[in-house]
Amino acid sequence: MPGEGIPQWLEDLEKIPLDSRLRRKASLKRFNTWRIGGAAECVIDVKNLKDLRLLLPFIHKNQIPWFVIGKGSNLLVPDKTWPGIILHLSGDFKCWEPLEEKFNSGGKKVSAGAALADVTFAQKCVPHGWGGMEFLIGIPGTIGGAIAMNAGAHGAETADFIDEIEWMDMEGNLHCTAKDEIEFRYRYSELNGNYGRIITRAVLSLNESDPKTIQKNILKYQKFRKEKQPYNQPSCGSVFKNPTGDHAARLIENSGLKGKIKGGAQISTKQANFIVNLGNASSDDIMSLINTARETVFKNYSIDLMPEVQILQSSIYS
Ligand SMILES: Cc1cc2nc3c(=O)[nH]c(=O)nc-3n(C[C@H](O)[C@H](O)[C@H](O)COP(=O)(O)OP(=O)(O)OC[C@H]3O[C@@H](n4cnc5c(N)ncnc54)[C@H](O)[C@@H]3O)c2cc1C
């Protein structure tokens, strides 16, 4: 008999011999950059491929709600307890390794684990003079999240630098797919946990540059963020994608919504496409501002703003 209130799948999960840390009823506040939301039934810091290969078929077979997160820097977490498994890649998935054999072919290629922080990746490239991905310095996510969201800034996006991606399907099969075989669009990749595909590692191809130029770009991008964005308040970055030929921030600002407050959340006074947590925002406060911005912009401009932010829900693969 399962213990009181403990789902059967959780009892079965605890019997799987994992190297990874498993946490019950873990608060998700520290797993997202808005610093909001309730707990998850279970969070697993997945340490290696072996464990991922055990976990995904188990989740799939038992039809357990699940979600893979990076740093939760583009994620809205609900206020109430989330009833499934959060996969949080860690351990081996933070690797960073220059691929020397590929260097001889002329390119500067680096293998990066999905859990490696974007900022760490950008910083590691500086002394080597490997350029192009300096834009990652201002994106507080992981390499896996950057690929899943095709994150970009300052005229470049992650897909521009991808050579190949290693990922796992829900049956636990590991794939290595060349970039050309994967569909990428503006803030979209078909490799995303939402579609039952977990990115584990990527080979990124960088440009030969010099450390001084790269460092200069990094400082320029950091200065831009400090001047234009509410960098010292919890947020998820841009809430909406920019519609073709326009800017979501301009549309929201011109709709008179800059500074609008709902509960503990506010449409940033600095950048209208950011919603910030003033200290005690709930997920509902943020969702309410998202709906207000969307409805008001539609009323004024007949443009339906598409959220860039992902909502924590069950991944749809079944
Ligand atoms: C201050 C601030 C500034 C930002 N600036 C930018 C910017 O300039 N440009 C930009 O594009 N974004 C920006 N963002 C948004 C965000 O940082 C990016 O979308 C980032 O790539 C998300 O990475 P993450 O690891 O935090 O992913 P999460 O937020 O944890 O997840 C986002 C999505 O990716 C999926 N995912 C994560 N890891 C994996 C994986 N290993 N395999 C499969 N799917 C996965 C999740 O399931 C989810 O659907 C900003 C955010 C903040 C807070």
Whether residues 15 and 109 share a domain: the answer is no
Statement: residue 3 has pLDDT above 60: no
Residue 3 domain flag: no
pLDDT of residue 6: 85
CA-nearest of 146, 186, 185 to 165 is 146
73 CB within 6 A, ligand 1? yes
What does 100-147 look like in DSSP terms, one character per residue? HHHHTTT-EEEEEETTSBHHHHHHHHTTTTEES-GGGGG--SBHHHHH
Q: Is 211 helix (H, G, I), strand (E, B) or coil?
A: helix
Report the residue among 35, 46, 49, 69 best suited for mutation to probe ligand 1: largest number of ligand atoms under 8 A from its CB: 69
* Average pLDDT for 309-313: 92
What whole-number distance in Å separates Cα of residue 115 and Cα of residue 56? 17
Where among 173, 202, 226 does a domain terminate?
A: 226
How many other CB atoms are found less than 10 A from the CB of residue 2? Answer: 11
Side chain identity at residue 298, one-letter code: F
**316 pLDDT band (50/70/90 cuts)?**
very low
Q: Which domain holds residue 151?
A: 95-226
- Contact in structure between 262 and 297 (CB atoms under 8 Å): no
**2 domain residue, yes or no:** no
Q: Rounded to the nearest whole angstrom, what is the distance from the C-alpha of residue 151 to the centroid of ligand 1?
A: 7
Q: What is the pTM of this model?
A: 0.95
Q: Does 277 share its domain with 304?
A: yes
- Give me the chain's average pLDDT, please: 94
pLDDT of 1 reads 46
Q: Does the CB atom of residue 146 touch ligand 1 within 6 A?
A: yes
91: alpha, beta or left, given left = phi > 0 and alpha = psi -120 to 50? left
Q: Is 237 in the pocket of ligand 1 (CB under 6 A)?
A: yes
From 133, 139, 224, 309, mutation site for ligand 1 pocket: most ligand atoms within 8 A of C-beta? 139
Distances (CA, A) of 132 to 65, 94, 99, 206: 37, 21, 17, 6
The CA distance from 146 to 132, in Å, is 14
Q: CA-CA distance, 157 to 184, in Å (whole number)?
A: 10
Question: What does the pLDDT read at residue 318?
Answer: 45
Q: How confident is the model at residue 108 (pLDDT cuts 50, 70, 90)?
A: confident
180 and 58 assigned to the same domain: no
- Checking if the pLDDT of 300 tops 80, the result is yes
Q: Determine if ligand 1 sits within 6 Å of the CB of residue 139.
A: yes
Quick: pLDDT tens for 180-238.
999 999 999 999 998 999 999 999 999 988 999 999 999 999 999 999 999 999 999 99
